[in-house]
Amino acid sequence: MTTVLPSLSETAVAQPNPVRAVSVLRPGMQTTVQDWPGRVGYWHVGVPPSGPMDDLSFRLGNRALGNAEGAAGLECTLGGPALRFDAATWVCVTGAPVPITVNGTEIRQWRSVLVPAGGILDVGMVRGPGMRSYILIAGGIEVAEYLGSKSTFTLGRFGGGTGAALAAGDVLTVGAATGRVTAGVTGDDQPVLTRRWELAVTEGPHGAPEFFTRSDFDTIIGTDYEVHFNSDRTGVRLVGPQPQWARTDGGEAGLHPSNIHDNAYSIGALDFTGDTPILLGPDGPSLGGFVCPVTVVAAERWKLGQLCPGDTVRFVPVRADRAASPRELGPERRAAWPIVLSSGGDGDDGVLGRRDGTDTAVTYRRQGDDGVLVEYGDLTLDLELRARVHALHQALLERAEPGITELTPGVRSLQVRTDADRLPTGRLLDLLAEVETGLPAAAELVVPSRTVRLPLSWDDPTIQEAITRYMHGVRSDAPWCPWNIEFIRRMNGLPSVDDVFDTVFAAEYLVLGLGDVYLGAPVATPTDPRHRLVTTKYNPARTWTPENAVGIGGAYLCIYGMEGPGGYQLVGRTTQVWNHRSTGVGEDPWLLRYFDRISWYPVTAEELGDLRADCAAGRWEPATEDGEFRLADYRRFLADNADSIAGFRAGQAEAFAAERASWQQAGEFAEKP
C-alpha cells in the first residue's frame, strides 16, 4: 500500500525555508546536473548545448515547483540516486516511471512532495517504458556556470560543478525557493511513454534524389527501426535497413556515399555515419561530414531522451510550419500522444530554395523546423566557397537579428539556427536573400589569418593503441589496418611512407571549421592542393581516439578536441586545442580561429608528453604570427600553378581508383558494416 506523505492541495502555498545542501548517498548509474536550454551560443566551436534530453519532463517538474522552467535539476539514467536533504524542501520526480521513497515511504511520481529536514529521497531503477527520470528541487541546484550554463557535459569534463556525473559524497547546494508550489503535473500534461515511438520529422537537409534514392527515403519513413544498446546522450544508434544510395561515393569528402564536406548538424538529425543511422542528441557533435535525410522537430526531441534499447522508432513526415512550438509544455506538444498525426511532409526534399548569388549559386536547405543550412556552389572543396561563407557569417553577426540563436560555418555552408516563434523560416529566407545581395565580391574578400606552429609526434604510440583497439574490438580486416599511414600512402600513390611525412610537414593547413569532433577541434585543408592527401574514413568508426590525435579524412585534417570515437585516418598527436583551465569567463578556452593556418614541426613522443604537461599547466603555448588570407592572392597562386596541380590530382585519382579496385577484387570494401 502506498503511504502518502504531506503534499499540496491544488492551491499553491508558500515555500518552506530554502534547502542549504543535499548530500549524495548513492549516485545512481549516471546522474548529472542539467539546466535548460543548456549551453547555447557555442555550437560553432564544438560545444553542444547539453541540458536535459527529455526537456518536457524536466520543465514540467520545474514549473510545478514554482521554479523557472530552466532551473538546474538532476537527470537520472536508468537508475536514480539516494539524496539526504539538510533542510525541508519540495521536490518533484518526473520522466520515466521509477519507484520513489522518502525515508522509506513510497511517494507518487509527478507530484510535489515535501522532504523533511534530514530526509532521504531514494529514486530507484526505471521500470519502463522510458530511459530517464528527473529530480527537480524547489529553488534549483546552484553550481558555477561554464560558458553560460550549469549543464554537465561529461565528455568535455565541464559543467555541473565537477564536470562529471554525481559521485557518492558529493554535496549539492540548492538555491532559495522564491516561487509557489502546485500539487504537481496534471495527468493531461504528463508525456505518455511507450516502447513503440513515432517521431515527427521534417525533410532535409540532405535527402532524395541528390543523396538517397526515392526508395531509400520511402524506406526511412516506412520502417520500424530498433534502438541499439550502444546509445547515449551523444546519439541514439538505430538498427535498420542499409540504404542503396543515389551516389557511388562522396568524392573529395570521402569514399562512402554518406560522406559530404563538413557542415553543422542539428540536434535530432538522423545522421547516416556510413550505413549506420544515428539520431544526434544534445551532447552530440556540432560539425561533421555525413548526410542527414530527416530531422526531428524541436517539440518532439524530448522523446530522444526516453528511447530505450529494444524500442522501435518510426519517422513520420510533417509540415515544418505545423510543428508544435517547443515553448509549449501542455497538450500542444502532444504530451499525451505517442502517435504522431502526419501532415505528409513538405514534399520539397528539404530544399527550401535555390538562387544565383553574386559570385556563385546558393542552396537553402531545411534543418528541422528551427534551422536553415545555407550552401554555396557545387559539392567540391573550394576555398572561395569558404570565404563566401565567412562573408555571410560576418554580415549576420553584424546585423544581430534577435531571432537568430546560433551561426555555425562549415566547409561550404553556414547553419542558421533560430527561435522559430520569433523568426519563422519564411522571414529568415527573406532576410538571407537580402543579406546575400549586399555581400562583397569574392575578389574583395580579405580575412584575418594567423600562422600557428604546432608540434606533431608522428605515428605516436597512442594512435597505434587506437588502431590496435579498433582491430580487436571493431574490425580487424579493414584496408586501413594495421597502419593508417601506409593506407594513406597507397590511397595517394606516394612512393613511400616518408613521402606522407614530408607532405604533411610541408603543408600549411587552413582552418575551415571548429568543433569537427568537439571542443575547438579544427577541420582544415592544405592551401596548396598538391599537399591535400585524400583518404576514406573508418567505417565503422573507432570507439576510442586519444585526445588531440591528428587524422586525415577525405581531403581534410582534424585535431581531436577530446578523447572519444572517430573516423579519420590517424597520423600523429599534438598539444591541446582546448584550455581546460579556462573558466569560460573573459577567456576563450579554444585555441584556434577560423582561417588560422596550422604548420607542423616534428617532435618525439617523449617531447610531446612534456609539451602537453606544460600546456596543461599554463607554462607553454604555441607560437603564432598574425597575417591575412586574401582571396585575390590565392586565385593568382592557383592560376600560376595550375598545370602542376592538375598533374598531382590526376595521379592521385588514379591511385585512389586502383586502391578501391583492389578491395573489390579481394571482396573487401571500405563500406563494410
**C-alpha cell, 422:** 520569433
Residue type, 400: A
Residue 12 is predicted with a pLDDT of: 45
Residue 303, SS3 per DSSP: helix
CA 557 to chain centroid, in Å, comes to 19
pTM, entire model: 0.92
Residues of the chain with pLDDT under 50: 1-14, 18-19, 668-673
Residue 253 is predicted with a pLDDT of: 81
Gap between the Cα atoms of 563 and 513, Å rounded = 19
Residue 466 parent element (H or E):
helix 461-473
Residue 2 is predicted with a pLDDT of: 40
Residue 42 main-chain phi, psi, to 5 deg? -125, 15
Residue 497, SS3 per DSSP: helix
User: Angle formed by the axes of helices 425-437 and 383-399, to 10°?
Assistant: 110
**C-alpha cell, 494:** 606516394
Gap between the Cα atoms of 158 and 160, Å rounded = 7
Residue 301: closest CA among 229, 201, 205: 201
Gap between the Cα atoms of 293 and 211, Å rounded = 8
Residue 584 is predicted with a pLDDT of: 66
Residue 538: closest CA among 473, 441, 602, 586: 473
**C-alpha cell, 51:** 541540458
Q: Residue 129: is the preceding peptide bond cis (ω within 30°)?
A: yes
**C-alpha cell, 533:** 592527401
Q: Tens of pLDDT along 322-335?
A: 888 888 887 777 77
The full 3-state SS of 115-132, as one line of letters, equals ECCCCEEEECECCCCCCE
The full 3-state SS of 365-398, as one line of letters, equals EECCCCEEEEEECCCCCCHHHHHHHHHHHHHHHH
CA dihedral 130, 131, 137, 139 (to 10 degrees): -100
User: Angle formed by the axes of helices 383-399 and 631-640, to 10°?
Assistant: 180
Residue 666 is predicted with a pLDDT of: 55
Q: Exposed, middle or buried, 397 (CB in 10 Å: 0-12/13-18/19+)? A: exposed
Assign 3-state DSSP to the chain and report helix, strand, coil percentages, each to 5.
25, 30, 50
Residue 416: closest CA among 552, 264, 307: 264
Residue 147 is predicted with a pLDDT of: 94
User: Angle formed by the axes of helices 484-492 and 497-506, to 10°?
Assistant: 80
Residue 537 is predicted with a pLDDT of: 86
